[in-house]
Structure 1
Amino acid sequence: MVNVVGLEDTLAAHPFAADMDAEALRTIVGCCSNAVYHPGDYLFREGEPADAFFLIRHGQVALEIHVPQGPPIVVETLEEGEIFGWSWLIPPYRWSNDARANDQVRVLKLDATCLRRKMEADRTLGYELYRRFLPIMAQRLAANRLRIVELATEPRPIRGRSRG
């Protein structure tokens, strides 16, 4: 059985829930579970169904973009107190990148289907969650843009035939 009281306290202590009213906390805690990931574990992979979002309680998570015939590009590294996984809000509800644990990571994992159902039933809750997610979405898009500029301005090796 899930200890909802413990989860409610843990959720309330996370910066994502700062100033969230008690009723909203009680509503979403039913969609919440604790999860642990080990170094190198994927929390999700690009293209998979976006079935949750995550509140980091401990550890670091790298958001990566898959590059054919090359190593993944780390777009951003997130730490304790941050959230990620906003693809659950936007159809077709698929991850647009990978998320990998850099070390042992403890998260609160919130079930997307459960949350969408509760948001449909309670539009005030939906507004509250969107209000919290939109600034994060804007920040992540800005981080992606900066990373693209950084990659575009990196010196590249000269390609061509060697003479020898």
Structure 2
Amino acid sequence: MTQAAVTRAAVDEHPFLRRALRAGVVNHAAAARFLDVDGDEDAVAAAIRRYSEDLPEFDADARDAHVSMQSGLGPSDDGLLVVAGCGFEPGEGDLTALLASGDVDTQTLASALERLHAADVDPVAAGVAEDTLAVVVERRDGADALRVVEDALDAVPV
């Protein structure tokens, strides 16, 4: 593989860097040092710059979706959200589900999860199917998570 191909592959292993390149907010020399690709740092920085020129411009779309909150979720074999047989359903539990219904997809989920982690909210589970996104959090994180998910819907990177 050429150094340019190796550099592109290294960038693609770090989605945050690829997104920042699309937004035009990256110091290419610093990115070259971060990636630690074998070769001359200036050549790697140049390869990163050329790659960023080939990427589509960063854009964010607002999504038309309604977010609701459902508290009292507990473990279940089925229910509101199920992953590999581990589910969550309303009842006597201490978890809260945030449900976004409407124009949602996996990109919306990824954006919401990234923002939740930045806000120090650690989701218990999350998923998206058809027109519904679900994120399960600890009850004490419910209100903060609701605001974060609503904000995420206003600017989903595309």
TM-score exceeds 0.5: no
TM-score, reference length from structure 2: 0.26
- TM-score, L = length of structure 1: 0.26
Bigger radius of gyration among the two:
2
Structure with more relative contact order (C-alpha pairs < 8 Å, separation 6 or more): 1
